[in-house]
Each structure stands twice: as structure tokens, then as C-alpha cells.
Amino acid sequence: MQFINLHTHSFTNDTSVYEVVNQYPWEFQESIPNYSIGIHPWYIDENRIETDLACIEEKLASASCIALGECGLDKRIEIPLEKQLEVFKDQLALVQKTNKPVILHCVAAYQEVIAVKKEMNIQNPMIIHGFSKNEQVAQSLLDNGFYLSFGKYLLRNPELESVFQKVPMDRFFLETDTIEETIAQVYEKASEMKNIPINELKQIVKNNFEATFKREF
């Protein structure tokens, strides 16, 4: 059974891994078989927002594009939150025409993301990638229907163990994002924390993926 890497910026073409590779409209690579595409809040560029959105709309219609993202909100950058919200909502309006999930970048803006989900009545599954916060934030997101994806911080932050242990088995994913460690190493750490064998963990993540992305392996 393959490992599933919910979010990575590196296409390895490793046959033991099903990778959801992050792509940006302005540097799109047609050769990547399974990808997400979106406008990251860090890279909002007024001069190309319209063409980026048009590209996202086109790619969302493709079977190879399995999610919108990463997109979202980040309060620790200079781009005004108002502009970030505008671009975020424009992307969500496009994905609402599909049943595809959303992979979210969120920094210090969890309440705002929850509010947007409610305001726009988003029915598409929404996944917070690279989750690293405390149990209270995790529970608030879970209560509002979000999924949580874990990667780098499982390996780097021992305090995250207690949070991860309490996340329901049907509400999490695993990822590498930009780290050098492999997805197998992330699974190994996650299996220790959940106290389950890696093969069982693979099956759990596979079930979550099939249910959320409406894809079967």
C-alpha cells in the first residue's frame, strides 16, 4: 500500500508514494500527475491575479488537479488581510463549482478562515496543512468541519504529540511540505504517537483520502 503525501512542493516520482504536489499558476508543470493549484497568500501579485484565477479555474476541471491550494490567510506578512481575503474568496468561489477539497495555508488567522467557511457555506472539504497549534485551536477547527494535516512539526515539536493523539482517526492527513525528511519518516513518527502499526496507519490515511477526495486506489 502506498504512502499518501497530502502536500509536497517536490515531485519525487516515487512509486511507493501517492503525492499531491503543490503547484502555482505562474509556474505550472503539466508533467506532474496529481497536484493541487492555488494562489498562496505570500505570492499574491496584483498584476497577475486575473490570469492566475483563470488558470486555476481551467485546471480545477482537470482530473489531474485533485484540490485547490495551497491558499489561505497569513497575518504575519505585509500583504493586507483585506486583499488576502479577497483573493482567498475568489479561489473558493471557483472550487465551489466542484467537489474538490481545499488545502489551506493559515497563520494566525484561524477564526477568519472559519468565518469565511461559514459565510460562503463551503461544502468542499477543507484541510489545514502543516498544523502545529494547540489542542484548543485543533478542537475549534475540528468542530467546524476542518481536517488537519501534520508533517514537519510532528518531527520537530514534541508538544504536538498530545494534540495529534487526540485528533480523530478519520480527520487527519500526513505530509512533507518542504522538509528534507521523507513521508515514510513522517508516517513512522505518526505511528509511534498514535501507537498503531504503520500498515494500519496507511489504511487509515487511505480511507480518509478516498472519502475526502472521492478517489479510490
Q: Is 10 helix (H, G, I), strand (E, B) or coil?
A: coil
Rounded distance between C-alpha atoms, residue 206 and residue 35, angstroms: 17
Three-state secondary-structure class, residue 116? helix
How far, in Å, CA of 118 to CA of 45, rounded? 27
* 105 annotated to bind ligand: yes
Q: What CA–CA distance (Å, rounded) separates 40 from 119? A: 21
**At CB < 8 A and 24+ separation, what contacts does 188-194 make?**
189/154, 189/155, 190/150, 190/154, 190/164, 193/154, 193/161, 193/164, 193/165, 194/164, 194/165, 194/169
Query: Any bridge partners for residue 23, and if so which?
Result: 37
Residue 188 known to bind ligand: no
Is 177 known as a binding-site position? yes
Question: Cβ of 123: how many Cβ atoms within 10 Å?
Answer: 10
Residue 7 marked in a binding site: no
Contact 171, 125 (CB under 8 A): no
**Residues of each annotated binding site:** 70, 105, 129, 177
**Residues of each annotated binding site for a divalent metal cation:** 70, 105, 129, 177
